[in-house]
Amino acid sequence: MLNSKLKKIICKSFIIILLLGLFSISKADLDMNNQDINIKLNPAFPSAYQNVTVTTEIYITDIYKAKISWFIDGVLKSEGIGNKEFNFRTKNFGETTNLSVQVTSSDIGQLIKTFKIIPTELDLIWETDTFTPPFYKGKALNTHESTVKIVAIPNFINNNGVKIDPKELIYLWKKDWKISNSDSGYGKDSFSIVGPGLFKDNMISVEVTTLDGIIKNKKSILIRNNIPEVIFYENHPLLGILNNRNLKYFPVSNTYSEEIKIKVYPFYFSLYNKDNIKYEWLVNNKPVYDFKEDITLRREGEGTESYFISFKISDIKKFQLFTENDFQLNFK
The domain spans of the chain are 38-118, 121-224, 229-331
Residue 281 has pLDDT above 90, yes or no: yes
Rounded to whole angstroms, what are the CA distances from 18 to 14, 21, 22?
6, 5, 6
Residues 6+ apart with CB under 8 A from 141: 128, 130, 226, 268
CATH class for the domain made up of 38-118: mainly beta
Q: For residue 10, name the pLDDT band (cuts at 50, 70, 90).
A: very low
Residue 8 has pLDDT above 80, yes or no: no
Q: What is the pTM of this model?
A: 0.78
Residues 6+ apart with CB under 8 A from 237: 257, 261
Q: Are 191 and 178 in contact (CB under 8 A)?
A: no
Q: For 162-211, what is each residue's pLDDT tens digit?
A: 999 999 999 999 999 999 999 999 999 999 999 888 888 999 999 999 99
Q: For 12-22, what is each residue's pLDDT tens digit?
A: 444 433 333 33
Best CA proximity match to 76, nearest among 93, 88, 64, 61: 88
Q: What strands, in cross-sheet order, belong to the sheet with 259-267?
A: 240-241, 229-236, 259-267, 294-298
Which CATH number applies to 229-331? Answer: 2.60.40
Q: Are 294 and 120 in contact (CB under 8 A)?
A: no
Q: What is the mean pLDDT of the chain?
A: 86
CA pair distance 150, 251, nearest whole angstrom: 40
Rg over alpha carbons for the chain, rounded to the nearest Å, is 34
Q: For 248-268, what is each residue's pLDDT tens digit?
A: 888 777 656 778 899 999 999
CA pair distance 201, 223, nearest whole angstrom: 6
CATH class for the domain made up of 121-224: mainly beta
Look at residue 270 in the predicted model and tell me its pLDDT.
Answer: 87
Shared fold status for 38-118 and 121-224: yes
Look at residue 89 in the predicted model and tell me its pLDDT.
Answer: 97
- Phi, psi dihedrals of residue 22, rounded to the nearest 5°: -65, -40
